[in-house]
Structure 1
Amino acid sequence: MDDSSRMWITAVPPFGPDDVGVLLSVDTGSTDPGERLACRLLDRGHEGEEGVFHLLPFDLAARYSRTGDRLAVTLVAARAVLDEERTEAPPQSDEDGWVTLLRRELVTDFEPAEQDGEKQAVLLIDHLGPVGSLEELFARFEDGESGIAVLNAQ
């Protein structure tokens, strides 16, 4: 699957039609080690609205970057958290101790909002198996077959 089938700029039904932002999907059954680690860290979330989990910024976070017309979102986790979870983490950490788990990008002119110096959160929907469309992803959420996590952006 390419990034454009796993990353969207959209409104998410539980949050309302005016809250447009970045949404990523992660497959809990993925063979990708970074995606599996991201899914595992979702268990550290704290439930807010029904089915919506908020993660602490040092557990799992997102980073935005732009190259020309492409917006990229990278999911990162603190090396200390991965060590605590006793996971087989990728060996490389950046200078601040963050490990890159996955990166997705797509062509868009969307600019994530900032408020009080904080970047707009990234929403992450976890699901089992491939998803054919955004509508199918939302339907799985409505059926209780997936959850939404809110990730702070650095």
Structure 2
Amino acid sequence: MDDSSRMWITAVPPFGPDDIGVLLSVDTDSADPGERLVCRLLDRGHEGEEGVFYLLPFDLSARYARTGDRLAVALVAPRAALDEETLDEAVLGASVLDEAVLDEGLAEAEGRSGEGPEEWVTLLRRELVTDFVPVEQDGEKQAVLLIDHLGPVASLDELFARFEAGESGIAVLNAQ
């Protein structure tokens, strides 16, 4: 599946028809090590509305980047959160660890300090062509929503149907 088939700009039913935002799907049975780690970190969420989990930014966070007509979202986790999950580098896989080097450059570009490549790891990155610009309110970037599911899905409607049937959950991630 390409990125755009797993990333949408949409309203999410539990939040109402007027709240348009970025929604990513993550497969709990994915072969991708980064996606599997994201799914494990979702277990650290705190339940709000039924089936909706909120994650703390030091457990899992999102980063937006825009290049021309493309909006990219990267899901990042601090190395400490991964260590707490008792994951070692063999589970992470070389490709996930290589992405951590990119985070050092992002930290410098965003004016953050003390967050080197050994501290933040990019777990997955998706992008699509859109003119949507995530809103900011009081200096905070718009949250990214994740919907977890088992196996491939054919459509956004199928994802929402799985959520309504209690077969998936929605997580709210703060964006940096």
TM > 0.5 fold call: yes
Partner of 2:175: 153
Partner of 2:137: 115
Structure 2 regions of 5+ residues with no counterpart? 105-114
2:165 is aligned, of 131, 139, 143, to 143
Partner of 2:68: 68
Deviation, structure 1 residue 91: 2.9
SS at match of 2:97: coil
Partner of 2:151: 129
Deviation, structure 1 residue 98: 1.0
Structure 1 regions of 5+ residues with no counterpart? none
Deviation, structure 1 residue 83: 1.1
Partner of 1:39: 39
Higher Rg of the two aligned structures: 2
Matches for 1:52-63 after TM superposition, within 5 Å: 52-63=52-63
Task: Provide the rounded CA distance (Å) in 2 between the counterparts of 1:8 and 1:61.
Answer: 18
Deviation, structure 1 residue 3: 0.7
Task: Provide the rounded CA distance (Å) in 1 between the counterparts of 2:33 and 2:86.
Answer: 14
SS at match of 2:65: strand
Task: Provide the rounded CA distance (Å) in 2 between the counterparts of 1:46 and 1:133.
Answer: 27
Task: Provide the rounded CA distance (Å) in 1 between the counterparts of 2:47 and 2:134.
Answer: 24
SS at match of 1:65: strand
Residue-by-residue CA offset, 1:110-143 (whole Å, 9 max, x unaligned): 0000011110000000000001000000000000
Task: Provide the rounded CA distance (Å) in 1 between the counterparts of 2:121 and 2:138.
Answer: 26
Q: Does 1:91 align with 2:92?
A: no
Which is helix-richer, 1 or 2? Answer: 2
Partner of 1:82: 82
Residue-by-residue CA offset, 1:28-72 (whole Å, 9 max, x unaligned): 000000000000000000000000000011100000000100000
Query: Superposition RMSD on alpha carbons, in Å?
Result: 0.9
What is the TM-score with the length of structure 1 in the denominator?
A: 0.97
Residue-by-residue CA offset, 1:79-121 (whole Å, 9 max, x unaligned): 1110111113333433312100000000000000001111000
Corresponding letter in the other structure for 1:48: G
Identity across the alignment (%): 84
SS at match of 1:91: helix
Which is strand-richer, 1 or 2? Answer: 1
Task: Provide the rounded CA distance (Å) in 1 between the counterparts of 2:53 and 2:97.
Answer: 28
What is the TM-score with the length of structure 2 in the denominator?
A: 0.85
SS at match of 1:100: strand
